[in-house]
Structure 1
Amino acid sequence: MTQPSSLRHQVCKVTVMDTTDPDITFDENGVCNYVHEFRDFSERRPDPETRDAELKRIIGNIKAHGSKRTYDCLLGVSGGVDSSYLACKLHEWGLRPLIVHFDNGWNSELAVKNIEELVTRLNLDLETFVVDWEAFRDLQAAYFRASVVDIEIPTDHMIFAALNQIAVRHNIQVLISGHNTDTEWLLPKAWYFSKFDLRNLMDIDRQYGRSSLSKLPKLGVWQQFYYSHFRKIRMVQPLQYMEFNKARAKQFLIDEMGWCDYGGKHHESIFTRFYQGYVLPKKFGIDKRKAHLSNLILTGQITREDALRELQQPPYDEDQQDEDKTYVAKKLGFSQEEFEAMLNAPPRDHREFRTDARDREFYFAIARAYGSLRRLTGRTKRPDPFA
């Protein structure tokens, strides 16, 4: 893997990743670095039988640990495939999850319907966290003004902050995540930024925001330290231990849960649909479908030919794109002229704003010192039953 991506456009011979990723490299056969990295990852991954046994162990520990609690785990659900399918699996395994939906004001009607059908059919308890709209809208608007690539950070950051807050309130110590490598392993670093860099978020808000962050949940370095070390909250990713096939999961939900398809990945949110399908391609030259489809190619769920055919189509209906553009501008309080100017402004790097790099260095120093002290005193850390 010696040939860096050049100025000329080049597409991987195995996946559909190309030189719109500035960090991509190709070997002498035109195969990109992600193919080799995924093969290395797959070789290190335990076999299915070992993963299945580990999953059963973890499920047993969650049940035992939460046996005297109202809920033994918490699952955030968006109405999309991954989280909806995972809710079904938790029910099948006999777990007692609290289902939480983060309402940031951008839910599609289909997402709401999917969630309602899911919790009704599975007889699960649902709690909806409704974010302070005025404060959240202002933060989203600040990210547009800042002209940075990852304008999904306010949502992604605050979803997990809210989940931790709710977990504390209900005395739940296990958060269930739908993240999985079968569909989400590949995402170029240049296409996103750290979701939990609170200093970066606050600096963007300080320079371009007009409201107060005090009304919004936060999850920076020290909040993470509090939740993980003092409240002992752990994240568990069950889909990592399974062979997760997106198409089969989707069909199961349609057949068994009355689930309605909303189109592309994460299009259950109007904002995310517009961001991934319009803003990223038009402003930043990024088509996230290339990463999503390449991941499915690597895991054998689709062919490269199928992926190339899909990429010949627009990310989503172009009339709907125009409607979304008008809707998003109005909902965020921009005139059409203002919004157009921001969409056409030169991109800026997140690192032009403050970051939490020093906080993280300090955190890891404390963690190392804490570990050394426990070893010296003979108080070694007990194994994490959910790891």
Structure 2
Amino acid sequence: MSIKRSLTSVPLRLSTLAMLFFLLLGTQVYAANPEVSDSEEAISAGKSVFNANCKTCHQLDRKAVGPALRGLTDRRSIDWAKKFIRNSQALIASGDADAVGIYNEFNQLVMPNHEFLSDDDVMNLLAYIEYGDKADPAAAAATGDGAQVAGGGAGIPSEYLTIILGVLVLVLLLILIVLGLIISILTKYLKNQQLDAEDEEFINQKSDFKKLFRSDAFVIIITTLVIALVAKTAIDELYTVGVQQGYAPKQPIAFSHQLHAGQYEIECQYCHTGVELGKSANIPSANICMNCHAHIQNVGGQEGISPEIAKIYAAVDNNQPIEWVRVHNLPDLSYFNHAQHVAVGGVECQTCHGPIEEMEVVYQHSSLTMGWCIDCHRQTDIKSQGNEYYDKLVQLHSGSKDALKVKDIGGLECAKCHY
């Protein structure tokens, strides 16, 4: 029986599964120990253990904070691996040459104990290390299975209004040009005809532009254009009220999501601990930062650490919170629950926040307007498979030919978001 632990249910741990250990960098093609199962069930269960305990500091095929793990059971015995995973410090204290060598190679970083892992957990973990995710994980899509929802505010987009206004002005100019050509052709034709004195005087009269500019038609046309331009400008400004797309405030500490979430593949839930449990994702405290930086940056003391990381130490030493600047803001009249979307709906972080793992400085990727949310609810299929929460809803929807979408379970009801 495997134990699946999320980062919110297990005390925050620096490296996660043992293994700040195995693997000295070298060839990474190994014959795995035959005692390790290669079944899909074992690999899947091992991946859950790895993601909850190891992924913060380890990767399978390349060195990160700790060594690459693939081929561990070829280089070490399973009994040794179990001891190191559960209590690496005890193995190091016993004088084991391999354990001491790895401890020194990785700057004497202390890996937390994992005595809560059962034998089945460890064996499943080893199965995942040897056989799991051999394809390049970077090829996987980062945005999840949900529908890709672009922009989208309510009403007519500003771009459409600009196009409509431009077309109207162009049509008006074409009409004036055509009328001018018709008048010119008719005038030339009539001048060659036998006309009476009154008609000839009318044909030969000179254009009075002052009279044209004072005419009712000209005044109406100009007034209409001015009103249209003012109206368009006002509508454009109204649509931007409360919309902060692209907002990227300067933070008190220059934290790089590209480095942490991208290069080191730290799960969002490791720092934003409330995302699966409540309405807010939670802004991480300095203590969460120190789970890693207390070990990574303290080699040789605090001397030589970067000024940005020094700010973390200062916040902890002075018992003062880091005053992060909120990037994503919704109006007070709107209700959004992260747990409902992430834990129940299975929505990926990138669906709303964009390619967060590529951002050196975090910015608001989506508009987060009401129209944007409604479009998402209209287009996104419900991930009902294996989720008992939706069983009754799926049964009620069984008579429809279309897939069950968020709009079908009340996703367009006003009271869902406005309370």
Larger Rg: 2
Greater share of residues in helix: 1
Greater share of residues in strand: 1
TM bin (shorter chain): under 0.3
TM-score computed with the length of structure 1 as normaliser: 0.21
